[in-house]
Chain A
């Protein structure tokens, strides 16, 4: 699979590394050079420096041939815009974004976007913990 990940966040870097180990062709986009230090030096991951909400940067990352796009920056609006751009303009088949804000996550799920909301998931995990003995 060809995977493009936006945001070399902790989650972005870990996911990119793991997917590359499994034999996927992975590209990570981030606008800060220093973010790439989160990737292990020997990770077989292509690094593209640039703002993710930009056609040219996404093209450089190979978005036109990508099977999957994951928006994992720390900013909800950036993730939502990039995901919609990739879905609408580049017709990438599998697109998901991380959205911290519960309400924004709900609203955009209603628009047919795949959203992963860490806030909801983390709260659920804590509830589980509190129930356990």
Chain B
């Protein structure tokens, strides 16, 4: 996939590296010349000096063939407008914005941004997780359709470990997308068996959250 990342902060840099490692064509845009110079030592030609809010910049990058645009600058208004322009002008099918002020999440989704990631929200839930072990961490919310992507780590008490997926009675509207075991990514099939310590990433309907918590986190 061709992925444009706007904003060369720490998040933008690590995201670009990660996506490239996974084989994607990822290009980072940074508007500050000093930061750009630093980034280009690391990323070479995969970083471009420019303002992603300027249509000229996006045009030079061939934005019309991009599959995804991710806006991760430190300013919510820049992230929103860049995503909206990407959709309006370049018809980029998928836009994702980092939301610094959690209060803006709902607004961004209703203004057409496909997914929002609230770093403040994630950090808050991570802290909560430390307090309440076995907490599910929300990764992405698709508010309009009422579904969310969560991750959670399976404890030794979880009801779904040591059993084949095909033998589990999973609730409707729940899809296990992947399991992470150390550095290994497991795409679940009928005969996959989860182990304690596995991190499970799943898509679930919001109203069924409680049901899922019982299933994944508690012993039955």
- Residues of A in contact (CB 8 Å), total 21
Tell whether, in the assembled complex, residue B89 and residue A77 are in contact, meaning their CB atoms are under 8 Å apart: no
Tell whether, in the assembled complex, residue B81 and residue A76 are in contact, meaning their CB atoms are under 8 Å apart: yes
Tell whether, in the assembled complex, residue B76 and residue A80 are in contact, meaning their CB atoms are under 8 Å apart: no
Known: A54-B101, A55-B103. A81 touches B88 (CB 8 A): no
Tell whether, in the assembled complex, residue A88 and residue B107 are in contact, meaning their CB atoms are under 8 Å apart: yes
List chain B residues, Cβ under 8 A from A104. Answer: 53, 55, 81, 85
List chain B residues, Cβ under 8 A from A23. Answer: none
Known: A77-B80, A77-B81. A85 touches B53 (CB 8 A): no
Q: Does any Cβ of A come within 8 Å of B119's Cβ?
A: no
Tell whether, in the assembled complex, residue A107 and residue B88 are in contact, meaning their CB atoms are under 8 Å apart: yes
Q: Does any Cβ of B come within 8 Å of A111's Cβ?
A: yes
- The 8 Å CB contact of A82, one of B77, B89, B111, is B77
Question: Chain B: interface residue count, which band?
Answer: 20 to 34
Within 8 A of B (CB), among A81-128: 81-82, 84-85, 88-89, 101, 103-104, 107-108, 110-111
Alpha-carbon distance A85/B88, docked complex (angstroms): 18
- The 8 Å CB contact of B77, one of A55, A81, A89, A103, is A81
- Considering the complex, give the chain B residue whose CB is closest to the CB of A78: B77
Alpha-carbon distance A85/B76, docked complex (angstroms): 12
List chain B residues, Cβ under 8 A from A78. Answer: 77
Q: Does any Cβ of A come within 8 Å of B169's Cβ?
A: no
Counted as pairs of residues, one from A and one from B, with CB atoms less than 8 Å apart, the total is 54
List chain A residues, Cβ under 8 A from B75. Answer: 77
Alpha-carbon distance A53/B111, docked complex (angstroms): 15
For B192-219 the 0/1 string (1 means CB < 8 A from A) is 0000000000000000000000000000
Minimum C-beta distance from A60 to chain B (A): 14
Within 8 A of B (CB), among A8-45: none
Q: Does any Cβ of A come within 8 Å of B184's Cβ?
A: no
Q: Does any Cβ of A come within 8 Å of B10's Cβ?
A: no
Tell whether, in the assembled complex, residue A88 and residue B89 are in contact, meaning their CB atoms are under 8 Å apart: no
Alpha-carbon distance A82/B101, docked complex (angstroms): 14
List chain B residues, Cβ under 8 A from A107. Answer: 55, 84-85, 88-89
Tell whether, in the assembled complex, residue A88 and residue B110 are in contact, meaning their CB atoms are under 8 Å apart: yes
Alpha-carbon distance A91/B144, docked complex (angstroms): 20
Minimum C-beta distance from B7 to chain A (A): 13
Q: Does any Cβ of A come within 8 Å of B54's Cβ?
A: yes
Q: List 25 A-B contacts (CB under 8 A).
A: A53-B76, A53-B77, A53-B101, A54-B101, A75-B77, A76-B53, A76-B81, A77-B53, A77-B75, A78-B77, A80-B80, A80-B81, A81-B77, A81-B80, A81-B81, A82-B77, A84-B111, A85-B104, A85-B107, A88-B111, A103-B55, A104-B85, A107-B55, A110-B88, A111-B88
